[in-house]
């Protein structure tokens, strides 16, 4: 008689994902570095178009590849992707080739006509960026008039009957007290609220110290997210908060080069949208073998799919929960990748940053490309007079420091 | 993106004797752990955590009822309740829908 062993329990999905998949689950594709805004925390330091940006035909070839690899959808961003003349042509091409599109926009091109067109398509989703529930807080980060622009875009989408588009908020020290207000705005326009983590990437490297949430705000955010469950999207970006208690809904892992990646406007493939730096550059879609070759064979991505050293976090009881946090957040704050996240909820990141500050001065890595608009002296003066409103949460003595000054 | 992890151990009920098929707007991508299923209409991504579950879903359209699809995928009677629950989750998220066999 043969006794059958019970079937082995499947390995944890997260473990499988850390070893990488043959194709990304989703990817971020920034179509252009051109932007009509100049947000102070822009991950890609966008502003000016890069003359090397992929042509329409090159973009279509990438879409063909994504279809072959069964990448079901892309998150399109920029820059402001809708300023590309071929934007709608590319969206239509993607959806006709089984690649769904969600695009991020500041809303400046979402008029009534565009909204109606979007509402009629199942395969296209829109994400409106708003980083303050009031014009005061939002415009400080995203620029004058950007609040009104985003609200108007949402009004057009709601009027066209587009339900469930995304209202996307980067959580900052200045807006974390407004979570209920953000939720109310999303509900008003039948949108879904999406909260994501601020990263010290791109121009965010310069504004991180003034924008990133304070420790007690992180706790409040965690509790708020737990209370709202799956009703609020997070892009799975807050897994570093998991050490507070139960894991938040979603995938709690760093998917960089394993299940996600970034294609930038000139075709460079980076491990993730927050890591535009030569350290995390895997290749270019124009290289022989195209995107698929970069994804499957690049030295960097293969290395990221190997077991990573936990470093100083190895002895922490919570390592299984937060897995050391965000690679890009560590890198751009100058911390070693094997070690705590700068916003480690146990405070280990702050300790590490302190040690860094008191040790020999080491230059923090700078983003590899900067497409920021060049400001005239007059524009610089105008931006420098912008001040944050006085808020109860402004605890830092530097709270009134003008973050827009560069 | 909204994600659902579908493993054969979530409690709900499901009509195993009914006819089911993959929703026409859903695409499957087989993976070593099971499969990714993406619904282009709801923009929801599900992870099927099991190759057998993938095989059942692939058989749904060709079999007169879900129980037959399970049998065709080699599900032992003792394991049937677990897969019934997984199918219930897929039905609740519109990944599969009632329909006549092809």
pLDDT in tens, A34-80: 999 999 999 999 999 999 999 999 999 999 999 999 999 999 999 99
A10 vs B38, B41, B49: nearest CB: B49
Q: Flag the least confident range among A15-24, A182-191, A219-228.
A: A15-24
Quick one: tokens of B29? 């991508």
Does A72 contact chain B (CB < 8 Å)? yes
> What is d(CA A312, CA A161) in angstroms, rounded to the nearest whole number?
51
- B27 vs A123: CB contact, 8 Å cut-off? no
Quick one: tokens of A391? 């808020």
Listed residue (A122, A118, A127) closest to A100, CA to CA: A122
> What is d(CA A240, CA A343) in angstroms, rounded to the nearest whole number?
8
Using a CB–CB cut-off of 8 Å, the residues of B that contact A are 1-3, 5, 7, 25, 27, 29, 31-34, 36, 38, 40-41, 43, 45, 47, 49-50, 79
A122 vs B7, B40, B45: nearest CB: B40
Interface pTM, i.e. ipTM: 0.84
Please name the helix (run of DSSP H) or strand (run of DSSP E) that holds residue A228, with its range, or none.
Answer: helix A215-228
Query: Tens of pLDDT along B45-94?
Result: 899 989 999 999 999 999 999 999 999 999 999 999 999 999 999 999 99
- A13 vs B49: CB contact, 8 Å cut-off? yes
> What is d(CA A20, CA A23) in angstroms, rounded to the nearest whole number?
8
Q: Contact at 8 Å (CB) between A154 and A181?
A: no
Query: Tens of pLDDT along A87-112?
Result: 999 999 999 999 999 999 999 999 99
Statement: residue B102 has pLDDT above 80:
no
Residues pairing with A103 in the sheet: A76, A126
Residue A384, pLDDT score:
46
Give the minimum alpha-carbon distance from B72 to chain A in angstroms, rounded to a whole number.
Answer: 18
Q: Contact at 8 Å (CB) between B58 and B102?
A: no
Contacts for A172 with CB less than 8 Å, ≥ 6 apart: A41, A131, A141, A198, A211, A212, A213
Statement: residue A172 has pLDDT above 60:
yes
Does A362 contact chain B (CB < 8 Å)? no
Q: Contact at 8 Å (CB) between A257 and A21?
A: no
Q: Which of residues 226-255 of A touch B (CB under 8 A)?
A: 230, 233, 235, 250-251
* Other Cβ atoms within 10 Å of A14 Cβ, number: 16
B40 vs A10, A100, A251: nearest CB: A100
Please name the helix (run of DSSP H) or strand (run of DSSP E) that holds residue B31, with its range, or none.
Answer: strand B26-31
What are residue B88's phi and psi, to 5 degrees? -60, -40
Listed residue (A61, A64, A78) closest to A264, CA to CA: A78
First-to-last alpha carbon distance for chain B, in angstroms, is: 31
Residue A344, pLDDT score:
96
Residue A343, pLDDT score:
96
Residue B73, pLDDT score:
97
Cis, peptide link before residue A79, omega less than 30° from 0? yes
Query: Tens of pLDDT along A113-125?
Result: 999 999 999 889 9
> What is d(CA A287, CA A271) in angstroms, rounded to the nearest whole number?
17
Which residue of A67, A72, A74, A165 to mutate against B (max B Cβ within 10 Å)? A72
> What is d(CA A243, CA B12) in angstroms, rounded to the nearest whole number?
31
Mark out the alpha helices in A229-298 (DSSP H runs).
Answer: 290-297
Listed residue (A103, A145, A106) closest to A129, CA to CA: A106
Q: Which chain A residues are closer than 8 Å to B34 by Cβ?
A: 10
Residue of chain A whose Cα is closest to the Cα of B47: A13
Q: Which pTM was predicted?
A: 0.88
> What is d(CA A300, CA B100) in angstroms, rounded to the nearest whole number?
48
> What is d(CA B17, CA A400) in angstroms, rounded to the nearest whole number?
67
Average of per-residue pLDDT across A193-207: 96
Residue of chain A whose Cα is closest to the Cα of B31: A21
Residue A308, pLDDT score:
87
Give the minimum alpha-carbon distance from B9 to chain A in angstroms, rounded to a whole number.
Answer: 11
Residue A374 banded pLDDT, cuts 50, 70, 90 = confident
Give the minimum alpha-carbon distance from B79 to chain A in angstroms, rounded to a whole number.
Answer: 10
Statement: residue A177 has pLDDT above 80:
yes
- In angstroms, how far is CA A372 from the centroid of its own chain? 18
The string of DSSP letters for A318-331 reads: THHHHTT--HHHHH
Q: Which chain B residues are closer than 8 Å to A163 by Cβ?
A: none
Statement: residue A292 has pLDDT above 60:
yes
Residue A373, pLDDT score:
85
Which residue of B6, B33, B76 to mutate against A (max A Cβ within 10 Å)? B33
Provide the percentage of residues in chain B whose pLDDT is more than 90.
Answer: 73
Statement: residue A325 has pLDDT above 90:
yes
Residue A6, pLDDT score:
47
CB hemisphere CA count around A106 (13 angstroms): 27
Residues pairing with A102 in the sheet: A75, A125
Statement: residue A3 has pLDDT above 70:
no
Contacts for A199 with CB less than 8 Å, ≥ 6 apart: A43, A274, A326, A328, A329, A332
């Amino acid at each position: 008689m043969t006794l059958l062993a019970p079937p082995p329990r499947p390995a944890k999905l997260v473990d499988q994902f850390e070893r990488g998949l043959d194709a990304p689950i989703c990817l971020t594709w920034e179509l252009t570095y051109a932007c009509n805004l100049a947000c102070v925390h822009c991950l890609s330091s966008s502003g000016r178009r890069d003359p090397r940006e992929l042509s329409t035909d090159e973009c279509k070839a990438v879409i063909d590849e994504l279809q072959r690899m069964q990448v079901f959808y892309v998150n399109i961003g920029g820059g402001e992707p809708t300023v590309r003349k071929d934007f709608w042509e590319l969206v239509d091409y993607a959806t006709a080739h089984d690649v769904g599109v969600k695009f991020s926009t500041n809303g400046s091109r979402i008029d009534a006509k565009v909204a109606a067109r979007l509402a009629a398509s199942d395969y296209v989703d829109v994400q409106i960026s708003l980083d303050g529930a009031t014009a005061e807080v939002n415009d400080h980060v995203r620029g004058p008039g950007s609040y009104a622009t985003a609200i108007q875009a949402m009004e057009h989408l709601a009027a066209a009957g587009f339900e469930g588009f995304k209202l996307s908020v980067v959580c900052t020290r200045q807006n974390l007290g407004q979570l209920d207000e953000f939720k109310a705005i999303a509900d008003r326009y039948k949108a879904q609220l999406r909260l994501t983590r601020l990263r010290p990437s791109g121009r965010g490297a310069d504004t991180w110290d003034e924008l990133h949430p304070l420790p007690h705000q992180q706790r409040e955010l965690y509790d708020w997210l737990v209370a709202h469950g799956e009703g609020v999207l997070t892009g799975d970006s807050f897994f570093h908060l998991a050490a507070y208690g139960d894991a938040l809904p979603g995938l709690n892992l760093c998917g960089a080069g394993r299940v996600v990646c970034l294609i930038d406007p000139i075709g460079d493939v980076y491990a993730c949208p927050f890591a535009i730096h030569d350290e995390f550059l895997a290749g270019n879609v124009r290289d022989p073998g195209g995107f698929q070759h970069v994804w499957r064979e690049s030295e960097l991505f293969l290395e990221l799919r190997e077991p990573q050293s936990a470093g100083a976090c190895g002895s922490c009881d919570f390592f299984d929960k937060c897995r050391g946090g965000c690679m890009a957040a560590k890198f751009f704050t100058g911390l070693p990748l094997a070690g705590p996240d700068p916003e480690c909820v146990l405070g280990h990141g702050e300790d590490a940053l302190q040690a860094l500050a008191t040790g020999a001065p080491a230059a923090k890595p700078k983003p590899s490309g900067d497409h920021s608009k060049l400001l005239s002296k007059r524009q610089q003066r105008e931006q420098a007079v912008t001040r944050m409103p006085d808020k109860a949460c402004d605890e830092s003595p530097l709270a009134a420091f003008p973050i827009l000054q560069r | 993106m909204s994600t659902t992890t579908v493993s054969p151990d979530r409690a709900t009920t499901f009509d195993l004797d009914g006819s089911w098929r993959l929703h026409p707007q859903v695409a499957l991508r087989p993976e070593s752990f099971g499969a990714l299923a993406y619904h282009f209409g709801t923009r929801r991504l599900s992870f099927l955590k099991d190759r057998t579950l993938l095989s059942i879903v692939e058989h749904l359209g060709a079999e007169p009822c879900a129980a037959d699809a399970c049998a065709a995928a080699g599900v032992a009677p003792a394991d049937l309740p677990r897969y019934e629950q997984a199918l219930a989750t897929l039905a609740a998220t519109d990944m599969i829908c009632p329909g006549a066999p092809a």
